[in-house]
Structure 1
């Protein structure tokens, strides 16, 4: 029998744990929406029929920017999660170090491929680059799912003694496949909706091609969202009994948040089927926020009763927190100014 894998006690928090959760959830939702646009957008651009390459051009021109935005938006939630779940996340990253460290190289290569493919997106000649980028981004998503699933399964850390080389794959976890497919379907839905949003104004002005692209985007969104109503229950029931039971009446908050998320997803689907791009977008963003909360509650339930961030001692240090808020305000103002300047130079309202 392997010796027990020692887990050091958590460090003291500089502020109540709920404050970090308050920042973790919206920042992670924003990051998730950006990476959904990237992976789903590449797949849609890749599988768009040759007769309608306009959709590939419409999406593909935004994908390098979406990659950069997604990478930058990953930093805040990673920092907040590291405060609350550092020992779980860093342990999982070390156990899978070979894959984890390759993540950054994989994403950079995918970014380069998408950037260089932009001039050729209207041609079928761009498909090899898109296919390779799609494969790399899919690999990146598998790496992230591998680390995330391993982080909430401390019992699987014992695999280190059989594989100390940093190449552990958590494929034996029952949640691995449904979790990844759930993410891929969400990416197709969000990217399809993004395509519809990009072409909505032109379609309203009577641009027939833009109208076709908007309808194509809504078709991707509605079909992928329908698939989520199958993948979601599969992912839920693949969780340990204590976790999925919490969402089926065992925990009032978890059950309520899941119910709200399902209702919001249903509302987004209805809006998409009605052809309302704006309504579908509003409900889709709300659904993402609800499902990120569901994910967080599932993580708490998975780690209980051995670990809870609420049990960590608090040694208040609010100076760095206020400096963080001030920095956010300055950066937000700078970004707003830069975007406004760009839009004015481009002649956009």
Structure 2
């Protein structure tokens, strides 16, 4: 299938470097997505259940989440920009085309995200005032998940050049959101359901190292254990489903590839360990299950991103697009400067996450 003409401007760094940076930054971005989806779901649920009594641990836990979620959204947005830029550099001939075909929805992401972000701050303010806010969290969750639906559509549509011309003829203005790809729904549900596993691991960390009141930390630990355990199993099931819906040629290429062949088994192993640490924390308290769940949750995310990268590369390769066959004119002075700043930025992010995790929530008692 024909792709748009290759951009004559060469890449400023080797393809492998862009792919490493893409995998690292996308893994961090996915973690923030998981925390946002899971956090909003729990904040809405807990606040709804405790709406008639702001003195309960359940309300205190919901308020603690509501106050943290605006910061999580800050990370989500800022960590989402680099992997999108790296993807545009590597796959622009496919990604720009699919983005144009759903242009109205793609541009609408900005406005939906702004509204969801605003609702987070309103919910946090109402939490400080000891008022109900579950409906605000629910509305924000709807916006965030709909953005996920748009992204899932775009990032699967970029792999289907055989339908581009037909879609453009049907609606050249880009006011369409195609639903014909059998892999879109599994990919979307994988992201949404895996959110609960990673959120469970985060709750275990907050329960162990956070500064909330004792009864709130106990609630976070109990919910985190079950979410990490059951969510890990859900992640395994939906991950296998995503793989099963891929075309036979892609599954065969993945199995034979020297690098990508181990990504799915690696993900299943890490997700299984996450579930194990979650269930273990029901019986064993302390930092070991919390750190174990957090570490395996992050590694499972990295493995999922690598598997996703392999599916994209091998699907496009089967249709005539080889990401590795692009002209490169490396400017190493600029590359080294960028990498130094990149590592420093990751260090700053890590420090801010540490400060956020240790922040003491407002007491829920009068």
Q: So what's the TM-score if we normalise by structure 1? A: 0.89
Q: Give yes or no for the alignment of 1:115 onto 2:116.
A: no
Which of 276, 293, 310 aligns to 1:280? It is 293
Q: Please, which moves more after superposition, 229-238 or 250-259? A: 250-259
**Aligned residues of 2:201 and 2:224 also touching (Cα < 8 A):** yes
Match of 1:224? 231
User: How many pairs are equivalent?
Assistant: 341
Provide the C-alpha distance between the structure 1 equivalents of 2:359 and 2:277, rounded to a whole number of angstroms.
34
Match of 2:285? none
Match of 2:363? none
**Aligned residues of 1:149 and 1:170 also touching (Cα < 8 A):** no
Aligned counterparts, 1:28-177, within 5 A = 28-48=26-46, 50-51=49-50, 52-121=58-127, 125-158=132-165, 159-177=167-185
* Higher RCO by CA contacts (8 Å cutoff, separation 6 or greater): 2
Post-superposition CA distance 1:159-212 (Å, at most 9, x none): 111111112323110001111110101112222222221122359x99233112
Post-superposition CA distance 1:112-136 (Å, at most 9, x none): 1011111333867212211111111
Match of 1:325? 339
**Aligned residues of 2:210 and 2:357 also touching (Cα < 8 A):** no
Structure 1 counterpart SS, 2:313: helix
Which of 11, 14, 29 aligns to 2:12? It is 14
**Aligned residues of 2:37 and 2:195 also touching (Cα < 8 A):** yes
Aligned counterparts, 1:205-220, within 5 A = 207-220=214-227
Greater than 4 Å deviation, 4+ residue runs: 329-346
Change (3 A) 1:69 1:344: closer
Which of 251, 258, 261 aligns to 1:244? It is 251
Provide the C-alpha distance between the structure 2 equivalents of 1:14 and 1:320, rounded to a whole number of angstroms.
9
Provide the C-alpha distance between the structure 2 equivalents of 1:36 and 1:337, rounded to a whole number of angstroms.
20
Q: Please, which moves more after superposition, 32-41 or 253-262? A: 253-262
CA offset at residue 344 of structure 1?
11
Q: What is the aligned-residue RMSD (CA, Å)?
A: 2.7
**Aligned residues of 2:200 and 2:225 also touching (Cα < 8 A):** yes
Provide the C-alpha distance between the structure 2 equivalents of 1:60 and 1:341, rounded to a whole number of angstroms.
17
Provide the C-alpha distance between the structure 2 equivalents of 1:336 and 1:228, rounded to a whole number of angstroms.
26
Provide the C-alpha distance between the structure 2 equivalents of 1:206 and 1:334, rounded to a whole number of angstroms.
28
> Which runs of 5 or more residues in structure 2 are unaligned?
51-57, 282-288, 361-366
Change (3 A) 1:339 1:70: closer
Change (3 A) 1:114 1:153: same
Structure 1 counterpart SS, 2:132: helix
Q: So what's the TM-score if we normalise by structure 2? A: 0.85
Provide the C-alpha distance between the structure 2 equivalents of 1:113 and 1:341, rounded to a whole number of angstroms.
24
